[in-house]
Amino acid sequence: MKTLAVVVTTPPYSHLTITALNYVEAALQAEVEVIGVFFYQDGVMHANQNISIASDEYQAIQHWQRLHQNYQLPLHICITAAEKRGIVCDALDNEKVNQAFTVSGLGELVELTTKASRLVQF
Amino acid sequence: MKTLAVVVTTPPYSHLTITALNYVEAALQAEVEVIGVFFYQDGVMHANQNISIASDEYQAIQHWQRLHQNYQLPLHICITAAEKRGIVCDALDNEKVNQAFTVSGLGELVELTTKASRLVQF
Amino acid sequence: MTTLHLVRQSAFATNDFAQCLSVLAHQDAIVFMDDGCYNLKHSLLNSLIERIDNSLALYVIANHAKARAIETLVTINKVSMTEVVELTFNYNKVITWQ
Amino acid sequence: MTTLHLVRQSAFATNDFAQCLSVLAHQDAIVFMDDGCYNLKHSLLNSLIERIDNSLALYVIANHAKARAIETLVTINKVSMTEVVELTFNYNKVITWQ
Amino acid sequence: MTMIDTQVCSNVEDGNGLAIINSKAPFSSAYGKDALDIALIFGSFEQKVSLFFQGDGVYQLIDNQDGSLLSIKDYLKTFAAFEFYDIEDIYVCHQSLANRELDESFHIEGVNVLQSIEFSEALNQHAHILRF
Amino acid sequence: MTMIDTQVCSNVEDGNGLAIINSKAPFSSAYGKDALDIALIFGSFEQKVSLFFQGDGVYQLIDNQDGSLLSIKDYLKTFAAFEFYDIEDIYVCHQSLANRELDESFHIEGVNVLQSIEFSEALNQHAHILRF
C-alpha cells in the first residue's frame, strides 16, 4: 500500500508552496493514500484566516482547501509554530484558524511518520 | 547631522532581529537621529497583535515598543507586505495592528531614504 | 536502501546541493526542481555525470526547467510531477535539499 | 565614496560573502556580524588579508564571535554595536549582505 | 564656489539616489518582486533608482522565461515598464553571467553588462543601497 | 521464513525510524530549535530518531558557545537531555568539521564523527528523513 505523509514548511505567499501543492495533488490523482499534510515553520501561515493575497496571484490557501474538500485530505498545523506567527488557536475563539486545518501538536507528526510508507518534506 | 533610516526584513521570532534592535538602540543612545524604521517583507510580522512568543524567549515586539515610547521612534509597516501575512490594516478594525506601528505605503520608504544621511538594512 | 533526492536550490547560491552529493549513494536518484534546475549548468553536475553509472539516475521537472529557460541535456530525464510521485515509491525514502 | 559592508551570512553556506568581495573597493570596511563571524575561518578571508592594504579595514562584533566560540585573529578589530553605529557614519554608505 | 558647485561636490561625496542589488533567482521567492515594488515607487516619486543584478539575481534578466508554466504571476514582465518610470540605469555583473553560462540575451533593452570593477564603481555612485 | 524473519527483512529493506539532518548554524535562525523539538517529541513517544549534523549544522555541536551573549535562549543546552529521551544516535560529518577548521570538541557526549561514506551509510539505515 502506498501511503504518503507530507511536511510543508513554506508560507502561502512563497512560490515553493505551489510545487508542494502540485506534488500532493498529483499523488491524490494517482490514488496514493495521502494520510496527512503537516504544516510546520512558516507553513502554518496557510491557516491564517486574515491573509489577503492579490487576486491575480496564486491562491495557495484556496487550493489546500479544495484538496481537503475533494479528497478529505487531513491538514494539520503545528500549534507552537502557529502561535509564534500570530495565529490564535484558542478553542473558544478559533475564527482566526481556517476550518480546513486541524490544530495539532508535533505528536501528530510522529503519528503520520510512523504510519506512512513515505515522508516527503517541502 | 547624523540621520539614520533603518529597514527591517526579519520577523520577531528571528534571532537576526535582535541584532537590528541592538543596532537601533545603540544609535539612539549615541544621539543619532533615527528618523524611522521601515518594516518590510517578514519584518511586518512585528505589528501582529496576536503573536505569542514563549515568555523565556527574546520579546522583540516589546523591545520595539519600548524604543518607540522612550525615543518617539517612528515604526512603519508596509501595508502590502502586512496584508499578505494576515495583518488586517483596516482603519475600522485595526485592533490587529500593534499601536506602536504606523501602517504606511512604500512611499514612506522613499521619504525616509531621501531624508536620511544613512540607510541601513537588516 | 535507496534514496530519492529532491534538489530545490541553486548550487550557485547555496551549499545544499554539494551536501546532497556528499551523501549520494550508488543506486540513488536526483530530481532537480524549483531553483535546483539551475544546477544543470553547474560544474558540480559534471563531476556527477563522471560518477554516474547505470544505477544512478538524474531527473528534472520539465516545466520547472522550461519556465527558467534552461536547456536540458539529453542525459537528464525530463519528468512531470506525476512521475515524481511514482519515483517517490520506487526509492526507499526521500530527502529534500531546500 | 566608501562603503561599510555588513556581512551577516556564513560563506560556508551561501554565496553572499563572495558577492561582497567582488564589489569591495580599496577604502571600504567589512563588519562581520551574526553568522558572518564564521567567515573568519573561511579561505576567502585569506585572499582578503592578501588584498588588504592600509586603507581596507576588517571588524567583527566581539560578542557575536564569542557567542559562537570563534577565536578572532589579531588583525581583525573587535567592536561593539556602538562602534558599528560610529562606523556607519565614517563611511559614505552601507551594504548589508544577508 | 557657487551654490551649484557645492551641490555637485555634495553629490560626488555622498552619491546620488538609491541602488538596489538583486541577488535572488526570480521564481522561488518574492525577493525579486519586493525589490521591483521599491524600484517602481522610487520611479513614480521621481527619485533616482538604479538596479544591479548579481549572483543568482542575473536570472531575473534572462530572455525566454515563462513563470506562467509554474502558475506564477510573472512580475518579470513589469520590467518592460522601467522606461516609463525613468528607470534607466540597469547593470548586470558579467562574472555572474559567465559563471552560470548565460548569454547576454535579456528580456528588456538597455541592460549594461559590466566587469566586476565597473560594476563596483557604478554601485559606488549611489547614496543608499538596498539588497534583495 | 518465519514471521520474525519477514519483519527483519522488512526493516532492512525499508530502514528504521526517523533521521533528522541539521544543516543550519545555531544562532541566526530557528531551524535548529525546530529540528530539536521534533527529535524530542519522537523520543518522548519512544520512536527511534537519529540526528545528523552536516554543513553549517555542525556548529550546533561545538563546545564553549554561549547564546546568552546574544540575548538568545540557548536551546543547545537542551542537547544534554538526549540521553534522557533515549536519543543515542548522533552523527557529525567529518568533512564539514574539517572544512570549518573545527576540532572534535563537542558540548555533549557520544557524538560519532563519520567520514562521508559512513555518514551516508548511517543516514541510509533510516525509513524517513527530514532536513532543517
Q: Do D93 and B118 touch (CB under 8 A)?
A: yes
Candidates E88, E99, E15; CA nearest to E49 is E88
Contact A56, E73 (CB under 8 A): yes
Name the residue among A106, A117, A119 with its Cβ closest to that of F41.
A106
Lowest mean pLDDT across D1-10, D38-47, F107-116? D38-47
Does the distance separating the beta carbons of F131 and A121 come in below 8 Å? yes
Among B14, B16, B56, beta carbon nearest to F73: B56
Work out the percent of chain D whose per-residue pLDDT is above 90: 83
Residue F121: list chain C partners with CB under 8 A: 25
Q: Looking at chain A from residue 24 to 53, which residues have their Cβ under 8 Å from any Cβ of chain B?
A: 45, 48-53
Q: What is the dihedral of CA F79, F71, D65, D35, to 10 degrees?
A: 80
B79 part of contact set with chain A, CB < 8 Å: no
At A45 the pLDDT is 96
Which pLDDT value is given to residue E1?
Answer: 34
- Work out the average pLDDT over F102-125: 97
CB contact under 8 A, F28 and B13: no
d(CA F131, CA C98): 8
Distance CA A7, CA C96 (A): 11
What is the spatial distance between Cα E22 and Cα E132, in angstroms, rounded to a whole number? 5
Q: Any residues with CB less than 8 A from the CB of B61 and at least 6 apart, and which? A: B12, B46, B51, B53, B98
| Positive/negative CA dihedral, F53, C84, C39, E33 | negative
Percent of chain F at pLDDT exceeding 90: 88
Neighbours of F46 (CB within 10 A): 9
Tell me the pLDDT band of D75, cut-offs 50, 70 and 90: confident
**Per residue in E43-91, pLDDT tens?**
999 999 999 999 999 999 999 999 999 999 999 999 999 999 999 999 9
The CATH T-level fold of domain B3-121 is: Hypothetical Protein Ychn; Chain: A, (3.40.1260)
Position of cell 505605503? B105
Q: Which residues of E touch B119 (CB under 8 A)?
A: 18, 128-130
Q: Does D8 touch chain F (CB under 8 A)?
A: yes
Residues of C in contact with A23 (CB under 8 A): 81, 84-85
Q: Do D66 and F66 touch (CB under 8 A)?
A: yes
Q: Any residues with CB less than 8 A from the CB of C93 and at least 6 apart, and which?
A: A118, A119, C1, C2, C3, C4, F15, F126, F127, F128, F129
pLDDT tens sequence across C31-45 = 999 999 999 999 999
Q: What is the mean pLDDT of residues E4-22?
A: 64
Is C12 near chain E, with CB under 8 Å? yes
Residues of E in contact with D16 (CB under 8 A): 23, 55
The answer to whether residue D1 neighbours chain F at the CB level (below 8 Å) is: no
- Measured CA to CA, the distance from residue F9 to residue A97 in angstroms comes to 44
User: What secondary structure does DSSP assign to B9-75, as a single string?
Assistant: -S-TTSTHHHHHHHHHHHHHHTT-EEEEEEE-GGGGGGGBTT----TTS--HHHHHHHHHHHH---E
Q: How far apart are CA B27 and CA A41, in angstroms?
A: 32
Angle at F99 between CA F95 and CA F103, to 5 degrees: 80
Question: Which chain C residues in 48-87 lie under 8 Å from chain F, judged by CB atoms?
Answer: none
For residues C3 and C25, the answer to whether their CB atoms sit within 8 Å is: yes
Q: What's the confidence (pLDDT) of residue A90?
A: 72
CA distance to partner chain D, nearest, from residue F87 (Å): 25
* Amino acid F117: pLDDT: 95
Fold of E15-64+73-131: Hypothetical Protein Ychn; Chain: A, (3.40.1260)
**Worst-scoring range by mean pLDDT, C36-50, E117-131, F19-33?**
C36-50
Would you tell me which residues 24-53 of chain F have a C-beta closer than 8 angstroms to some C-beta of chain C? none
Using a CB–CB cutoff of 8 Å, tell me whether E27 touches chain A: yes
Residue from the list D1, D24, D97 with its beta carbon closest to the beta carbon of E131: D97
Question: Of residues F19 and B89, which shows the higher confidence score?
Answer: F19
Higher pLDDT, E109 or B98: E109
User: For residue A49, what is the DSSP state?
Assistant: T
Q: How far apart are CA A27 and CA C89, in angstroms?
A: 11
The active-site residue, picked from B6, B24, B78, B82, is B78
Q: Are C75 and C51 in contact (CB under 8 A)?
A: no
Please determine, for residue D25, whether its predicted confidence score (pLDDT) is greater than 70: yes
Least confident of C26-35, F13-22, F87-96: F13-22
Pairing of strands F49-53, F90-93: parallel
Can you tell me the ipTM of this complex? 0.95
Q: Which residues of chain B have pLDDT under 50?
A: none
pLDDT at position E4 = 40
Residue A93, pLDDT score: 59
Is B110's CB within 8 Å of E42's CB?
yes
Contacting residues of D for F99, CB less than 8 Å apart: 12
State the pLDDT confidence band at F11, using cuts at 50, 70 and 90.
Answer: very low
Inter-chain touch E59–C63, beta carbons under 8 Å: no
Contact E41 B109 (CB under 8 A): yes
Residue ranges in chain A modelled with pLDDT below 70: 91-96
Contact partners of C by the rule of 3+ C-beta pairs under 8 A? A, D, E, F
Which residues in chain A have their CB less than 8 angstroms from residue F14's CB? 117
**Touching check for C92 and chain F: CB below 8 Å?**
yes
- Every domain of chain B and the residues it spans: 3-121
Does the pLDDT at position F6 exceed 50? Answer: no
| Average pLDDT of span F5-21 | 64
Lowest mean pLDDT among C15-29, C37-51, F113-127: C37-51
* Residue type at E66 in one-letter notation: D
Does the pLDDT at position E7 exceed 60? no
Q: How far D85 CA lies from chain B's nearest CA (Å)? A: 6
The predicted structure's pLDDT at residue F10: 40
Q: Which residues of A touch C90 (CB under 8 A)?
A: none
**Cβ of residue E62 closer than 8 Å to a chain C Cβ:** yes
Mutant choice from D17, D35, D39 vs F, greatest count of F C-beta within 10 A? D35
Active site (catalytic) residues of A: 78
Phi-psi region of E17 (alpha: psi -120 to 50; beta: other; left: phi over 0): left
Cβ contact F–E (≥3 pairs, < 8 Å): no
Instruction: Report the residue of F34, F70, F71, F75 to disrupt the B interface, i.e. the one with the largest count of B CBs within 10 Å.
Output: F71
| Mean pLDDT (whole number) for C61-70 | 97
Sequence-distant (6+) residues with CB within 8 A of E112 are: E89, E90, E91, E92, E122
Pairing of strands E128-131, F18-22: unpaired
Domains and CATH numbers, chain C: 3-97 (3.40.1260.10)
**Cross-chain Cβ contact F130/A121 below 8 Å:** yes
CA atoms of A69 and C16, how far apart (whole Å): 36
